[in-house]
Structure 1
Amino acid sequence: MTTQTTAPETPTPASGTPTGLIGLPEKTGLALALGGSVLTIISTFLAWTWTSAFPGDLTVYGYPGGLQVLVLIGGALATLFCLARYGVKGLGWLVPAGADGAIKFATLATFATSWYTVLAISVDLGGIVNLEPGGYLVAVASLAAFLGALALPFERPEPDPFDPDDTGWELFKHRAGNKWATFKAAFATGTPRRLGTLPSYVEILIIVAVLALGLTVFTYGIGTEYDELFIGFLITAAFGFAALNKAGLIAQASQITARHQNITICGAFVAAALFPFTQTDDQYATIGVYILIFATVALGLNIVVGLAGLLDLGYVAFLGVGAYAAALVSGSPSSPFDVHFPFWAAVLVGALASLVFGVLIGAPTLRLRGDYLAIVTLGFGEIFRITANNLDGTSGPDLTNGSNGISSIPNLNILGFDFGLQHTIGGFTIGRFANYFFLMLLITAVVVLVFRRSGDSRIGRAWVAIREDETAALAMGINGFRVKLIAFAVGASLAGLAGTVQAHVTYTVTPEQYLFAGVIPPNSAFLLAAVVLGGMGTISGPLIGAALLFLIPNKLQFLGDYQLLAFGLALILLMRFRPEGMIPNRRRQLEFHEDAEPPTVLTKTGA
């Protein structure tokens, strides 16, 4: 039996009947997209305004700055995709899934960022008269590139047929493109074939490059110095990610990381550990440690929601239980207990207290399902906050100091290492929040290990069975109540583990930190959103989702009352176009896209 994959020959665009969204021939549209993208790149080396009153200093010729850098990146990406669409040698690997969709999103990223900048200059400085020639050029060029991209067809082109004159790298590109199409067709029809892969060392280098790119993007985003730059960063990053996804690069990177999962996880932690060394002070390391706390709690919630399928709307209460338990035994003068446990003991107390509360709450309620369970857990979260507020010595026993909370929690001191002091490591000065960042990174590694081992275990498979169909799982002999209670207890203890560090980072633990919903996370609504938007049942999904959901609200505080409106619209759009999450697992991705048509690839089978 021999299998051969062929496809119609489409090496270059043809100037036939218009097939895109606007009435331009395909060849004309591609030329317009390429020319507009090149002019957009040129415009970033010109001045966009005459005054430095607009942040970023866009008055310099020959040196892009501020928002010009983002437009330059978008224009370069669109140019590369256009050249790959033309069939330029050496660029075919950029578009294994087709270039048309990638060009559309890349030019949209450039157009949206350029016009946002031009409009912001006009509004802030009082009219378009404040624009320099570079500003006019980027507006026209980016619009022309986007309109040209809209003339491209919506059909995804098949990989080029084999050219017998191609040798070496060209033959490798051809085979890689055909294997990509063959894999997608086989996966869609349920008959996957064993495909060849790159050498292991090449794939590891690709993983290193992906992690380095991720660290660079995150560091740039968290370090944006003014609001206009952060909004431009969001626009470029969102549409740029969509362009890479349409090109098939995200899918290929996902396949490579899946084949080297252990190396990817270790590399990700190494990249995260390098983050404090990229900062000159503790300003952004502060956000980094809070992101890790939020992400760790979201990963614990992923066991409950993502693996076991239990909708928990009061999960932030377990974070509060761990934080309060650690604060009470860590030597705070506001604590009614005159004790000062070492950190390892405080960690055990916090995790054990959350575990006990998880069992006490789960035992009488986990026989409920769906919305009823969600309502009960929501009530538990509110009960915890109200109870902590009333244990002030007046409305109840003097335990939590009421609304004032447990304050003046001392810094950790582990084996003589004071987390409250600056330390010099390899010539770099590491501040207080950077110290806690490394500690929280270690705890995150523990939580990731627990998630991986439990997810791959017998109990993990039972959680997935309960999530998919509880009735069928019970019929197969799975003890549903016990399995769900274990998930609830493990998730609660992991949240309490993160809460012990949060108590020392914030110095003070108050009931207002553990609301169901609010503008700034962590709260139960944001935790659940991080799991769903990041990707239920995965490791990287909740971590990335939590990082975005913590970073974006912190950077959008200038919107004031409109912050939640803008954030809600963004969530709606994400759920509309990527309901399975940003980093979905394979099962959920098929559930949401089971009706998608497979690529048009002809497969001939003969003797």
Structure 2
Amino acid sequence: MTTTIDPRLARTLTAIGAALTLASPFLAWTWTAAYPGNLTLDGYPGGSQVVTLVTGALAALFTAAALGLPGVRRLAPAGAVRALRSASLAALTTTWVTVGAIALTLGGAVNVEPGGWLACVAVLLLAGGAHALPDDTVEPPPPGARLPWPAEVALITAVFLAALAVLTYGITTDSAEEFLAFLPAAGFGARALSAAGITRRVSEINARHRVAVAVAALASALVFPFTQTGDRYTAIADNILVFAAVALGLNIVVGLVGLLDLGYVAFLGTGAYSAALVSGSTFSTFHIAPWPFWATALLGMAVSLLAGLVIGAPTLRLHGDYLAIVTLGFGEIFRITVNNLDGTSGPSLTNGPNGINAIPDIELFGFDFGKPHTVLGVSFGRFANYYLLLLAVIAVIVFVYARAGDSRVGRAWIALREDEKAATAMGIEGFRFKLLAFGLGACLAGLAGTVMAHLQTNAVPDNYKFADTAPPNSAFLLAAVVLGGMGTISGPLVGAALLYLIPAKFEFFNRYQMMLFGLALIVMMRFRPEGLVPDRKHQLEFHDKQVSGAQARQVAAEATA
């Protein structure tokens, strides 16, 4: 990058900006506690000041690496300057959004204390100096040295705990102002870690310790309910997990096989209605004793699997837009059908638009998920109980997805996705493998649907539209897969979390939801078509003109391994 500022001056500005950014959260930014987060205290950061402090610390770390301090440079193997620029933008956005929100919500800039103005100037100096530094990117970055096994496992655990802390902060923000300041900071912070090469190093370590990664991920997720004192935020986490579970199932169809399914939410509804009918609800048209949950789950999976095979068998010979139109039609047919099975327009089965309500809580091996329990001295309410169950469901779906993707069947799916004609010429029977993927994805959606019916205590047709203001629906599920990253495990989880949290935190979002999501997808397709957590092969395909031959060989070797 060509600079118009002397590099020594740029380094000085960056260092001063980083120091002031770290100091500014310890000063009051406003005089009244009316603004969320209580930013009135000197010496004690609160609310969005904590985000500025964390992003400032990250920027200070990369500043030290960019200035070549001994022992710090190794923390940015791919180069520190680009990472510093992203970190400075993280601090800049969260600080300016917070100070601007103080002025807007409290009635003018006079409500901003000197600490807030100092923070604005500090992050501006930091970002300006960082963008004036000469680029030091190393392509490709040098290979990382292997650490001892205990050290690498400890690093994996620390990474997952840090990710959980970030997600927990996003879930537990009390106001739209705090979440609006947090969101861009998290995005630019993740970009800084990627630009520094840290994300790639962590991925290399994860690839060597897959069992440790699975254990660390599960253990970190189990920590969340222990950090909550009520069910308010745990309920949000439950809905995110339901959304993520269904998105993972859809990722088999879309990400691994490349089939565009626009009616996938119907399989979620199939599982939910199957569970509701045998739940023992007083509104169920099946007047039978409630089934045990394990039998209900198997029924929901079996009915959804059958529905997937029945729909897939006559339609999967279609391709592209034609298949998308057929699956969209199936989703609407399902919703209209259950809406008409009310005993008037059709047989009495689903109670029509009223649905099946008062679905009782799950009782599994004597454990009632609707009653509070005490675990290790912590009281678990209803939503915390369902959180643990949904973690188990996610674990099952991730296991099935990972094993299927690494198997001979998974390789056949990927071959069909990349070039169906070439795969067929190599002896892969496309229709059979696509039908298998369609059935497996439907089966996993049915499993999530059985839990969702008990969690929401109802199954009504309006829950299973193609597009609605509240996820999950087919449009949101597909957006979660595309936004997060097709063909990966963590991608749909990230996409589902974002697409659920953003409408939940911003009330005004519901009025312009589809327009804003459409705009977001357009921006994603332009600047990051591979998704937020991309598959390395997809990343290479979408950015083939921006990578060197050495990078291409490296990615090909990783894919082969």
Q: In structure 2, do the counterparts of structure 1 residues 225 and 430 end up closer, same or farther at CA, with 3 Å as the change threshold? A: same
Give how far 1:299 is off. 0.9
Equivalent position to 1:205, from 151, 154, 163: 154
What is the aligned partner in structure 2 of residue 285 from structure 1?
A: 234
CA distance in 2, matches of 1:335, 1:522: 23
Of 539-548 and 362-371, the range deviating more from structure 2? 539-548
Asked if 1:353 corresponds to 2:319, the answer is: no
What is the aligned partner in structure 1 of residue 338 from structure 2?
A: 388
Check whether the contact 2:81–2:137 (CA below 8 A) recurs between aligned residues: yes
What is the aligned partner in structure 1 of residue 8 from structure 2?
A: 27
Check whether the contact 1:33–1:107 (CA below 8 A) recurs between aligned residues: no
Offset from partner CA, 1:470-502 (integer Å, 9 cap, x none): 111111111111111111111101100110011
What is the aligned partner in structure 1 of residue 243 from structure 2?
A: 294
Offset from partner CA, 1:108-141 (integer Å, 9 cap, x none): 1111111111111111122211221111111112
Asked if 1:500 corresponds to 2:450, the answer is: yes
What is the aligned partner in structure 1 of residue 256 from structure 2?
A: 307
Asked if 1:181 corresponds to 2:141, the answer is: yes
What amino acid maps onto 2:159 in structure 1? V
CA distance in 2, matches of 1:257, 1:232: 31
Equivalent position to 1:121, from 102, 112, 126: 102
Asked if 1:543 corresponds to 2:499, the answer is: no
Asked if 1:94 corresponds to 2:94, the answer is: no
Unaligned runs of 5+ in 1: 1-17, 159-179, 184-194, 602-607
CA distance in 2, matches of 1:390, 1:597: 55
Of 536-545 and 214-223, the range deviating more from structure 2? 536-545
Check whether the contact 1:557–1:563 (CA below 8 A) recurs between aligned residues: no
Give how far 1:215 is off. 1.0
Of 356-365 and 432-441, the range deviating more from structure 2? 432-441
Of 296-305 and 563-572, the range deviating more from structure 2? 563-572
What is the aligned partner in structure 1 of residue 356 from structure 2?
A: 406
Asked if 1:231 corresponds to 2:191, the answer is: no
Check whether the contact 2:36–2:174 (CA below 8 A) recurs between aligned residues: no
Check whether the contact 2:141–2:197 (CA below 8 A) recurs between aligned residues: no
What is the aligned partner in structure 2 of residue 217 from structure 1?
A: 166
SS of the residue aligned with 1:551? helix
What is the aligned partner in structure 1 of residue 125 from structure 2?
A: 144
Offset from partner CA, 1:558-577 (integer Å, 9 cap, x none): 44423444444444433333
SS of the residue aligned with 1:47? coil
Greater Cα radius of gyration, structure 1 or 2: 1
What is the aligned partner in structure 2 of residue 242 from structure 1?
A: 191
What is the aligned partner in structure 2 of residue 188 from structure 1?
A: none
Check whether the contact 1:19–1:26 (CA below 8 A) recurs between aligned residues: no
Check whether the contact 1:227–1:558 (CA below 8 A) recurs between aligned residues: no
What amino acid maps onto 1:19 in structure 2? T
Equivalent position to 1:466, from 416, 424, 444: 416
Give how far 1:285 is off. 1.1
What amino acid maps onto 2:169 in structure 1? Y
Asked if 1:56 corresponds to 2:37, the answer is: yes
Q: Which protein is richer in helix relative to its size?
A: 2
Check whether the contact 1:556–1:563 (CA below 8 A) recurs between aligned residues: no
What is the aligned partner in structure 2 of residue 79 from structure 1?
A: 60
Offset from partner CA, 1:238-268 (integer Å, 9 cap, x none): 1111111111111111111111112101211
CA distance in 2, matches of 1:289, 1:464: 31
SS of the residue aligned with 2:50? helix
Give how far 1:196 is off. 4.9
What is the aligned partner in structure 2 of residue 252 from structure 1?
A: 201
Offset from partner CA, 1:384-420 (integer Å, 9 cap, x none): 0111111111111111111110111111111221111
CA distance in 1, matches of 2:141, 2:90: 27
Asked if 1:530 corresponds to 2:480, the answer is: yes
- Sequence identity percentage: 58
CA distance in 2, matches of 1:416, 1:136: 58
Of 137-146 and 486-495, the range deviating more from structure 2? 137-146
Offset from partner CA, 1:432-480 (integer Å, 9 cap, x none): 1111111111121111111122112221111111111111111111111
CA distance in 2, matches of 1:599, 1:318: 44
Counterparts of 1:524-603 in structure 2, within 5 Å, are: 524-598=474-548
CA distance in 2, matches of 1:47, 1:569: 37
SS of the residue aligned with 1:537? coil
RMSD: 1.7
CA distance in 2, matches of 1:569, 1:52: 35
Give how far 1:182 is off. 4.0
What amino acid maps onto 1:43 in structure 2? S
Check whether the contact 2:263–2:329 (CA below 8 A) recurs between aligned residues: yes
What is the aligned partner in structure 2 of residue 419 from structure 1?
A: 369
The TM-score, its normalising length taken from structure 2, stands at 0.95
What amino acid maps onto 1:369 in structure 2? H
Which fold has the larger relative contact order, with Cα–Cα distance below 8 Å and residues 6 or more apart in sequence?
1
CA distance in 1, matches of 2:217, 2:206: 11
CA distance in 2, matches of 1:315, 1:108: 38
Offset from partner CA, 1:257-310 (integer Å, 9 cap, x none): 111112101211111112111111111111111111111111111111111111
Check whether the contact 2:262–2:325 (CA below 8 A) recurs between aligned residues: yes
SS of the residue aligned with 1:424? strand
The TM-score, its normalising length taken from structure 1, stands at 0.88
Counterparts of 1:510-529 in structure 2, within 5 Å, are: 510-529=460-479
What amino acid maps onto 2:80 in structure 1? A
Check whether the contact 1:304–1:488 (CA below 8 A) recurs between aligned residues: yes
What is the aligned length? 550
Offset from partner CA, 1:15-68 (integer Å, 9 cap, x none): xxx823xx2122212221221121122111111112222221111111111111
Check whether the contact 1:307–1:460 (CA below 8 A) recurs between aligned residues: yes
Asked if 1:377 corresponds to 2:327, the answer is: yes
SS of the residue aligned with 2:545? coil
What is the aligned partner in structure 2 of residue 133 from structure 1?
A: 114
CA distance in 1, matches of 2:124, 2:521: 27
CA distance in 2, matches of 1:29, 1:378: 55
Counterparts of 1:256-275 in structure 2, within 5 Å, are: 256-275=205-224
CA distance in 1, matches of 2:368, 2:138: 60
Give how far 1:544 is off. 2.1
Unaligned runs of 5+ in 2: 552-561
